Amino acid sequence: MQVLDGKVAVITGAGSGIGRALAEQLAKEGCALALADINQENLESLAAELRLAKVNVSCHVLDVANRAAVYAFADEVLAHHGSAQIIINNAGVAVSQTVADLSYDDFEWLMGINFWGVVHGTKAFLPHLLKNNDGHIVNVSSIFGIIGVPTQSAYNASKFAVRGFTEALRQEVQCTQVKVSCVHPGGIKTNIARSARFYRDMSGNQDAARSAANFDKIARTTPAEAARVIIDGIKRNNPRILIGADARLLDRLQRLMPVSYSRILAKLTGNRGS
């Protein structure tokens, strides 16, 4: 089991959801924290809470899609904390839209954060980890990085890409002491559905409020529960971390029925297209 006490953990998307829960729980594990988020208000409220508990924390307002900004962030973290051992690339957004109606602007916006944000965060810190021959990179994909879902083509593309990138990286560093994990959450009770740019169902209806309400019905895992699973996975050096009974079920379904799982999902969800 990996001991986390005394290590420096870097978390993107730390202002809310899984990122915030990770920060709170890693602080209790004895980690110093470098927290990044694009929402300064959320970031500062979390930092204030942690500093009351005497946690060594630095805050960084950051757009992970901006490569230069992420590299500057890495420099700031190393200057402030002296090192970094746990890198959690967690920041993410959603776009719910059919392929036919998905705009390139929205596709590029999502990929910039969900995929390129992971690449930027990995590459900015990887040289430091390799130099010290120590550390753990944790990239957050999704169960949607394992199965494809209608109206989620952009999100699927980003999360499948995170999975492939992370699995390749893990093989590249296997002869070192740098560990790599890919996280696949199922439905987590976060604000990602509410902040999604669009909702478009297979009948052509668009309703963001309905999308968020539907997501809340199927999202059964809390951010705190998800964070506990991720931290346990880090401690155990698990290369693949599935979160939630739904993620475990869908993962098995995809492996057993790699082509026909979509028909079963359609029956379960009642979403058979227009």
Which residues does the annotation mark as catalytic? 155
Distance CA 48, CA 12 (A): 17
With vertex at residue 12, the alpha carbon angle to CA 38 and CA 166, rounded to the nearest 5 degrees, is: 135
End-to-end CA distance of the chain: 50
CA distance 271 to 164: 28
Q: How far is CA 114 from CA 91, 102, 235, 237, in A?
A: 7, 16, 25, 23
The answer to whether the CB of 261 falls within 8 A of the CB of 254 is: yes
Structure tokens at 5: 């006490």
Alpha-carbon gap, residue 270 to 135, rounded angstroms: 44
Q: What is the DSSP string of 21-42?
A: HHHHHHHHTT-EEEEEES-HHH
Q: In what order do the strands lie in the sheet with 57-61?
A: 57-61, 32-37, 8-12, 86-89, 135-140, 178-185, 240-243
The CA distances from residue 229 to 224, 236, 240, in Å, are 9, 11, 11
Contact (CB, 8 A) for 70 and 120: yes
Under 8 Å between Cβ of 46 and 123: no
